[in-house]
């Protein structure tokens, strides 16, 4: 009975956190880019070009393995197009800390004619919260994740928060 109670408590906590994240993303996003979940992206069969829409200092702390940093404040569409396949059906997943900045960048790719573009739901925070690995600039696994700010950092539940 105790195990069932603990399981129900964990499920209800997860559902509650998910609803809060849904509410946050609904507030900031237009949903003009489809989401992909961290679980789906982590599947071995999911092959995609990963674009990191965070700033350089965030990317340098950690990022998803194989990700290409395209930035947000310094995002340049022409430069990004040189870094990705010309095949506009290529699966591309854009992420940031939570999935807010990445929606803007992903939408620019859609406007450019790319048809298989996704926004990573919950961004690198949700990725790390689900215990998936991140790497530093040398490609080594790390627990560190740039938490952007104290306000946004509250969404990062696992890993070591870095603010500078």
Q: Which residues are catalytic?
A: 96
CA-CA distance, 105 to 32, in Å (whole number)?
Answer: 11
Beta strands in the chain (DSSP E): 35-36, 49-52, 68-69, 92-95, 117-120, 134-135, 141-142, 144-146, 160-162
CA distances from 84 to 5, 18, 91, 121 (A): 48, 32, 10, 21
CA-CA distance, 156 to 97, in Å (whole number)?
Answer: 9
The tokens for 163 are: 């603010």
């Amino acid at each position: 009975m105790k195990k069932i109670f603990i399981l129900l408590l964990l499920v209800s906590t997860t559902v509650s956190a998910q609803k809060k994240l849904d509410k946050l993303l609904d507030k900031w996003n237009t949903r003009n880019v489809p989401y992909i979940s961290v679980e789906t992206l982590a599947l071995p069969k999911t092959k995609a070009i990963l674009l990191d829409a965070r700033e350089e200092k965030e990317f340098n702390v950690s990022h998803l393995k194989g990700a290409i940093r395209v930035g947000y404040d310094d995002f340049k569409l022409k430069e990004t197009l040189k870094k990705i396949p010309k095949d506009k059906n290529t699966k591309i997943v854009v992420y940031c800390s939570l999935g807010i900045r990445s929606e803007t960048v992903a939408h620019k790719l859609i406007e450019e004619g790319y048809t298989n573009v996704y926004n990573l739901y919950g961004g690198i925070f949700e990725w790390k919260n689900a215990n998936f690995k991140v790497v530093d600039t040398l490609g080594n696994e790390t627990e560190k994740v740039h938490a952007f700010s104290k306000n946004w950092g509250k969404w990062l539940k696992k890993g070591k928060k870095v603010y500078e």
